[in-house]
Amino acid sequence: DIVMTQTPLSLSVTPGQPASISCKSSQSLLHSDGKTYLYWYLQKPGQSPQLLIYEVSSRFSGVPDRFSGSGSGTDFTLKISRVEAEDVGVYYCMQGIHLPDTFGGGTKVEIK
């Protein structure tokens, strides 16, 4: 199975400040079709996960542009340009290039 490793485990951020989360995969997520199958989700407290980013850097419908994704191969980053109170929760990366789909362990973001 592909292992997804997220750092840090937790972040405490002042509103309006940026935040960055790293996700590293044990194998390249670049497929021969040219796409990279890396996704980011946010699970707000008491809710189900919601899709933020697909294929490394494409924002899902309705996702604010303060969220951005970057990276390639095995190293990926989710950035929040200016954290807002509604951004608290646990962020997960997920790979879809090889079965079984696997998720990172999660990064908890809270507000200072």
Partner 1 sequence: QVQLQESGPGLVKPSETLSLTCAVSGYSISSGYYWGWIRQPPGKGLEWIGSIYHSGSTYYNPSLKSRVTISVDTSKNQFSLKLSSVTAADTAVYYCARRPYGDPPSGYFDYWGQGTLVTVSS
Pick 17 or 50: Cβ nearer partner 1: 50
**3-class secondary-structure state, position 97:** coil
Residue 77: CB minimum distance to partner 1, A: 18
21: CB partners within 8 A, 6+ apart: 6, 7, 8, 11, 77, 78, 79, 91, 93, 107, 109
Pick 47 or 65: Cβ nearer partner 1: 47
Task: Give me 40's structure tokens.
Answer: 């980011």
Q: Which range of residues in 10-18, 71-79, 81-89, 101-109 is near partner 1 by CB under 8 A?
A: 101-109
Q: Does 45 bind partner 1 (CB under 8 A)?
A: no
Residue 14: CB minimum distance to partner 1, A: 26
Q: Does 69 bind partner 1 (CB under 8 A)?
A: no
Name the DSSP letter for residue 55: T
Longest dimension (CA), the chain: 43
Name the DSSP letter for residue 101: P
Provide the binding-site residues for partner 1, judged by CB under 8 A: 31, 33, 35, 37, 39, 41, 47-51, 54, 60, 92, 94, 96-106
